[in-house]
Each structure stands twice: as C-alpha cells, then as structure tokens.
Amino acid sequence: MTDEPIIHIENVHKYFGHVHALKGVSLDVQKGEVVVIIGPSGSGKSTLLRCINRLEEFDKGKIIVDGIPLDTAANINAVRTEVGMVFQQFNLFPHLTVQENICLAQRIIRHRSKEEAAKVAKDLLAKVGIPDKAKMYPPQLSGGQQQRVAIARALAMNPKIMLFDEPTSALDPEMIQEVLDVMLNLAKEGMTMVVVSHEIGFAKAAANRAILMDDGQIVEEAAPEILFNNPKQERTKLFLSKVLK
C-alpha cells in the first residue's frame, strides 16, 4: 500500500487536431518524490503537466492522482485542490494584492475565515522570503518576487503535489536562484514535485529522478547524476550537448 504511487499515468495520448502531442506516456511518481522533466521545445512537457490537473483533456489512457481517477467533473475539482501549479508566466491576479491573491482560493474553496487565510498568507510570504509585500499589487513586484508569490498562492491550498512548468525561464538571470531556493526548501520538506525545468543544478540538488521527453514520449528516465552525466540514449546526449553549452 505504501508503494501506491501518488501520481499514476498510464499510456496517455493527447491530440491537438492533427498534432499528436503525447504518444503513450506512462509515469509513476511516489509520494515525496521530486521528478524533473527536460526536453526540447514542443516535446509535450507542458502538455503532460497540464494533463495531471486536467487543464488539458487527454484522449486516451488513464491518470490517477492520490487515488482519484480524473474522470468526473467533481473528481477533477477534487484533484485540482490537491495539486498546486506554478506557471512560467506566474499568472498572478493583477487586480488583487499579493495577500488577496493568496487568500482568494482559501476563502472560497477551503472556506477559511478571513483571519485564518490571512495568517496562512503571512506565514507563506515569510517562508518564500517576501514578508513585506502583502499589500502590493503583482505588477509592482519583480519577476522573481511574483513567482514566489505564485508558489505561496499554490501552497496556501495545502496541496499534496506541486507542478512547476518552467518556473524560472521567464526570469532575469539574477532572480532565478531566489525562486530555485524556495523550490529546494520545498523538496527538502518532502513535497511531491513534478518540475519541468532546464536548471540542471536544481535537478541534481533536488530531484530523485530526471526524465527526458522528446516528440511526445519519455525517452529516458534515470537518477539525475546518471541522466545528466552518463545518459544511455543518443537523443539524450544530443539534447544535453545543446542545453549544457
């Protein structure tokens, strides 16, 4: 029973019209595991991540998250409250303050009181290192700060799983580390994480497993040291030679 994966993906196919974006992807993620996904543009990394919380519908196959199959609308909403997602473009709500961004879903989904939600927001902002920004609006923050707010907003729902889709690739270089540090801490605390990112340093430091996707398929999966230093597949070697340069 302890070996029951928290995310079970089985032979998932996804089409966008004629584009076959996922070609039979299977993946199990254990509780507390950190999985990093790399791969060339258009290989289906985002699509796979978005299928896990059903922002994208898939056409064939099966995904079970924390024992809940993604089929009925009620199940999809149940899964979404257990799965936090962080986007490349942050997607903070620009008309709300940082604090309101973090409190909104707590209030209407978790039905927490105003004080309770505010307390959670305060603690999380301290945790991501920006305790003094609660009253500001997202456009007034730097990219790195916005992304940390986005992480706090997702964490406020007490998710069991966090999905990150290239969380640092829209950031200026000097802001990347502050976001990665927050993610590293989260990994240390035992959060289950699936991260699409080409930050090899982060993958080596935090990940239990690294996966290379290409052309809608998982090409290779291994421990990060092995995948990045000693890959078996030619395609992995080719891709890494481009990324590491």
Ligand X SMILES: Nc1ncnc2c1ncn2[C@@H]1O[C@H](COP(=O)(O)OP(=O)(O)OP(=O)(O)O)[C@@H](O)[C@H]1O
Compute the least distance from the CB of residue 26 to other proteins, in Å.
23
If the CB atoms of residues 43 and 168 are measured against ligand X, the closer one turns out to be 43
With a CB cutoff of 8 Å and minimum separation 6, the contacts of 41 are none
Q: What is the CA radius of gyration of the chain?
A: 18
Q: Which long-range contacts (CB under 8 A, 24 or more apart) does 41-45 make?
A: 43/213, 43/214, 43/215, 43/216, 44/14, 44/213, 44/215, 44/216, 44/217, 45/165, 45/196, 45/213
Number of residues that bind other proteins (CB under 8 A): 28
What does the H/E/C string look like for 118-129? HHHHHHHHHHCC
Q: Which of 46, 53, 146, 197 binds Mg ion (CB under 5 A)?
A: 46
Compute the least distance from the CB of residue 43 to ligand X, in Å.
4
42 interacts with ligand X by CB under 6 A = yes
16 interacts with other proteins by CB under 8 A = no
Q: Which stretch binds other proteins (CB under 8 A): 115-123, 151-159, 180-188, 210-218?
A: 151-159
- Number of residues that make up the chain: 245
Compute the least distance from the CB of residue 45 to Mg ion, in Å.
5
Q: Give the torsion sign (CA, 128, 131, 134, 139).
A: negative
Compute the least distance from the CB of residue 152 to ligand X, in Å.
24
- Alpha carbon distance 173, 166 (integer Å): 14
153 interacts with other proteins by CB under 8 A = yes
Kindly list the residues in this chain that would bind Mg ion in the complex (CB under 5 A): 46
Chain residues in the site for other proteins (CB under 8 A): 53, 55, 77, 80-81, 83-85, 87, 89, 91-95, 104-105, 108-109, 137-140, 143, 150, 153-154, 157
